[in-house]
Amino acid sequence: MQIFRKRQTINCGGKLLDLSKPAVMGILNVTPDSFYAASRITGEHEIMKRVETVINEGAAIVDIGAYSSRPDAVHISCDEEYRRLQPAVYLIKKHFPDIFISIDTFRADIVHILYEKYGHFIVNDISAGEMDKNMIPSVAKFGLPYIAMHMRGAPDTMQNPANCYYEDIVNDIITYFVDKKRELVEAGVTDIIFDPGFGFSKTLEANYKLLAGLDAFKVLGQPVLAGISRKSMFYRLLGCSPEQSLAATVAGNMAALQNGADILRVHDVKAAYDTVAVFNELNKFQKWTL
């Protein structure tokens, strides 16, 4: 029987991110229109307070996003995206140099500007290079780790019925990532993380099929990120708001961990960190069969 082994470290400018056990990525939204209002951060004081909180609560990565990807979000220019990102990157690099940073962007120009000014970081691209043909060559050129997320269309079209249709959602996305991995490796990208894109071009039912089948992604041999925090797969199912969906998120994150997720991207770091701790303890006594 063939056993697939995932890569367990990610090299970010000589610093190794250890993924032998699951890691938590804390969200820092420097945008005024994120779907979860409580996560919106503006101003240097709020940025510092948020970063201190996510680090103290156990995050290994801070994910900085300046462009909301919800379907009705306002389009912003590259200059505006950089204007929002720059203070957060500067403050983290200056005051918290040991924390890993990921930049949530689909624009190669943003990667160029931030790399030239601040050095290495992880690129978290919701489009896996589909929205900017220069993204993958840029990531390869600078030797940056790359999170490739699955999405069909763009944020304003991703929920069109045609983009949400799959023959078999797990197999279809794995096939997509097999091709994407080949493209990335051929371009020279060496540190790759795959994100199946919960909530992006997926129906509510499809999100649960994907979560249940997440263990199949081990065939890719790369770390897997699960970003399900307070998403509509919970609050629409339960008829509540994002603000009321923390308990459901915790349950979903435990399911993701049990099905092989290596990174949890979350708004609530302490809750996710505790979930990982429980999972790790349980894992000590799990009976594995081949």
End-to-end CA distance of the chain: 8
Mean pLDDT over 256-279 rounds to: 98
Q: Which two tokens stand for residue 92?
A: 């983290």
Q: What is the mean pLDDT of residues 261-277?
A: 98
- Tokens 């699951």 sit on residue: 22
The whole-number pLDDT of residue 64 equals 96
Residue 217, Cβ neighbours under 10 Å: how many?
Answer: 26
Cβ neighbours of residue 81 closer than 8 Å, sequence gap 6 or more: 66, 67, 105, 107, 110
Please name the helix (run of DSSP H) or strand (run of DSSP E) that holds residue 100, with its range, or none: strand 100-104
Tens digit of each residue's pLDDT (9 = 90 or more) over 77-86: 999 999 999 9
Structure tokens at 91: 């403050």
Question: pLDDT band at 251, cuts 50/70/90?
Answer: very high
pLDDT at 289: 46
The more confidently predicted of residues 153 and 55 is 55
Mean pLDDT to the nearest integer, 161-177: 94
Nearest CA to 269 out of 63, 55, 33, 42 is that of 55
Sign of CA dihedral 84, 145, 143, 11: positive
| Rg, C-alpha atoms of the chain | 18
Active site members: 231, 265
Q: Which is it for strands 15-18 and 9-12: parallel, antiparallel or unpaired?
A: antiparallel
Buried b or exposed e, range 244-270, using 16+ CB within 10 angstroms: ebbebbbebbbbbbebbbbbbbbbbbb
Q: Does domain 21-280 have CATH number 3.20.20.20?
A: yes
The two three-digit tokens of residue 1, written as one number:
């029987």
Q: Residue 157's pLDDT band (boundaries 50, 70, 90)?
A: confident
Q: Which of 103-112, 150-159, 210-219 has the lowest mean pLDDT?
A: 150-159
Dist. CA 234–CA 236, nearest whole Å = 6
Mean pLDDT across the chain, nearest whole number? 92
